Amino acid sequence: MIAIGVGANSKARDEDFASALASIRAETGGDVVATFEDAPFRAPLQTAASRQSLAHRTLPLADLRKRNDDCMTRSERSLALYGVASIAEASALAAAGPRSELIAARRIIGNVTVAAAKSADTKESPT
């Protein structure tokens, strides 16, 4: 299973999420889109995921923080606001499950950040 983690700044618009998801999916594929449960951009992300036939999953920040050491990049702003090295990378890793690994490090596409992780267990599902 491939999980796409997403972060965004306050300038992100609906079309930014659709574009960012399409870009990362072209490179890595994708089964589920994930971010933290209190993300202010949750609604437009869920809409973009639905339009691309992707499951959408929200996770507690505590789950993202558990994957901090597995993040390849670091955002000082994300650390200061949420205690997470990279919202996109940690979301992808947490959604993909235990022992998952990043297959695409965080990248910025407009006002959205995306990353992708692959499950260690191919039987894991995007629920």
Task: Give the other-Cβ count within 10 Å of 69's Cβ.
Answer: 9
Per-residue model confidence (pLDDT) at position 106: 96
Average pLDDT over residues 9-24: 95
Residue 86 has pLDDT above 80, yes or no: yes
User: What is the radius of gyration, based on Cα positions, of the chain?
Assistant: 13
Per-residue model confidence (pLDDT) at position 127: 46
Residue 121 has pLDDT above 90, yes or no: no
- Map out the domains of the chain as residue ranges: 2-118
Q: What is the pTM of this model?
A: 0.92
Residue 118 has pLDDT above 60, yes or no: yes
Q: Judge whether 88 and 17 are in contact, CB under 8 Å.
A: no
* Torsion sign across C-alpha atoms 21, 52, 39, 61: negative
Looking at per-residue confidence, does 121 or 69 come out higher? 69
User: How far, in Å, CA of 98 to CA of 24, rounded?
Assistant: 22
Residue 26 has pLDDT above 80, yes or no: yes
Average pLDDT over residues 32-56: 96
Which one of 3.40.190.10, 3.40.50.620, 3.40.50.300, 3.30.420.180 gives the CATH number of domain 2-118?
Answer: 3.30.420.180
User: How far, in Å, CA of 67 to CA of 16, rounded?
Assistant: 26
Residue 123 has pLDDT above 60, yes or no: no
Q: Please, what is the average pLDDT of the chain?
A: 93
